[in-house]
Amino acid sequence: MKFIVSSSYLLKQLQVLGSVINSNNTLPILDNFLFELNNNELTVSASDLETTMSATLSIDSTSTGSVAVPAKLLLEILKTFPEQPLTFTVEDNNTVEISSNSGKYALAYAAGEEFPKSVNLEDPSVTLVPAHVLATAVSKTIFAAGNDDLRPVMSGVFFQFSPEGLTFVATDAHKLVKYARTDVKASQVADFIMPKKPLNILKSILGTSDAEVKIEYNDSNATFSFDNYILMCRLIDGKYPNYEAVIPKENPNKLMIDRSLFLSSVRRVAIFSNKTTHQIRLKIAGAELNVSAEDIDYSNKAEERLTCDYQGDDLQIGFNSRFLTEMLTNLQSDMIMLEMSLPNRAGILTPVDGLEEGESVTMLVMPVMLNS
């Protein structure tokens, strides 16, 4: 088994696949890349059992076969080469020999048959989503997903597909983000919960792609195919909470303000907030928004006044500044709308401008009790 491949082309593909591999695997074979050669097509795969990703590369070869090569070692050596063709030869003494312009390097390999086989989806549902739409949906929602192992359903992003459009939701019970598109539709109604790890991998490579992503899914697994990649992952099992019930419908108090102005003000004032609660207070009256924080233990306090466009009753409400900062950072618009009803009900953040046709973002943040 022998093939020739460009060093930088191979490195670029392997770095993407390398993000799948865990640093501490229970099965030693998972520390390897699986190389499957079929004449001038090389398929490289990486897996952690939950998530498997493979890339198909065009190379120069006339042989077939499969071997598992140590991932860390291979990535380290590839990073040091300038752009050049490398020749990989599988020798009889259980090593793969790499020949470059300047030398030869031998790595021990394992049999390709030991590598876990990826699952074949039986009778999956299929939806096509443009790469930029999926990349935006993931980056807009993933930061709001929880990290609580006791509530695994909330540690992923909820995908909801229907003929009306696509909806992506993430929440950790303190904050919630709902990203919806009406310009991309699915043929039938379906929903599933995607884990964070494969979504982060997708997010990092979809940003530069203009392909259509083919999403295939059944009750337990989902596959994303685009360009020369296929990513397969096990879905999170369980029922997603009814998020619609949490979003308050009647919000008579509406505050419109410049996003970057509000964000920098919250960031500054938050420095003076209590280090455990991160609580900041918004006091709104007329066209004035007063942002303040106080850390009583250390006698630190800060207060800023901003002008805003406000319709509603005078209101004082407390928020966790970290959640507010995360949400404001994640919105791309110039102006944002904060809608509220009562000091103990969730506030709703939405962008006023900067959205594409058919796109909507709703962010919900739970208030914190103010000690008046």
Residue 266: give its domain's CATH number: 3.10.150.10
d(CA 152, CA 75): 33
d(CA 172, CA 196): 13
Whether residues 257 and 352 fall in one domain: yes
Whether residues 99 and 136 fall in one domain: no
pLDDT at 371: 74
For residue 321, being part of any structural domain is answered with yes
Average pLDDT over residues 132-149: 95
Whether residues 290 and 311 fall in one domain: yes
For residue 130, being part of any structural domain is answered with yes
Q: Mean pLDDT of all residues in the chain? A: 95
For residue 86, being part of any structural domain is answered with yes
Which band of pLDDT confidence, cut at 50, 70 and 90, is reported for residue 208? Answer: confident
Whether residues 173 and 77 fall in one domain: no
d(CA 43, CA 58): 9
Whether residues 264 and 237 fall in one domain: no
Whether residues 237 and 138 fall in one domain: yes
Whether residues 191 and 236 fall in one domain: yes
pLDDT at 207: 84
Segment among 117-121, 139-143, 254-258, 364-368 with least mean pLDDT: 117-121
Average pLDDT over residues 335-361: 95
Which band of pLDDT confidence, cut at 50, 70 and 90, is reported for residue 220? Answer: very high
Whether residues 196 and 277 fall in one domain: no
For residue 203, being part of any structural domain is answered with yes
For residue 168, being part of any structural domain is answered with yes
pTM > 0.75: yes or no: yes
Task: Summarize pLDDT for 29-50 with one digit per residue, the tens.
Answer: 999 999 999 999 999 999 999 9
pLDDT at 372: 60
pLDDT at 319: 97
Whether residues 293 and 341 fall in one domain: yes
d(CA 13, CA 34): 13
pLDDT at 247: 94
Please state the domain count of the chain. 3
| Contact status, residue 202 vs residue 138, Cβ threshold 8 Å | yes
Of 114, 136, 155, which residue sits at a domain end? 114
For residue 323, being part of any structural domain is answered with yes
| Contact status, residue 319 vs residue 273, Cβ threshold 8 Å | no
Domain assignment of residue 363, given as a range: 253-368
Task: Summarize pLDDT for 287-305 with one digit per residue, the tens.
Answer: 999 999 999 999 999 999 9
Whether residues 303 and 328 fall in one domain: yes
Average pLDDT over residues 87-108: 95
Whether residues 16 and 54 fall in one domain: yes
Whether residues 362 and 302 fall in one domain: yes
For residue 224, being part of any structural domain is answered with no
For residue 223, being part of any structural domain is answered with no
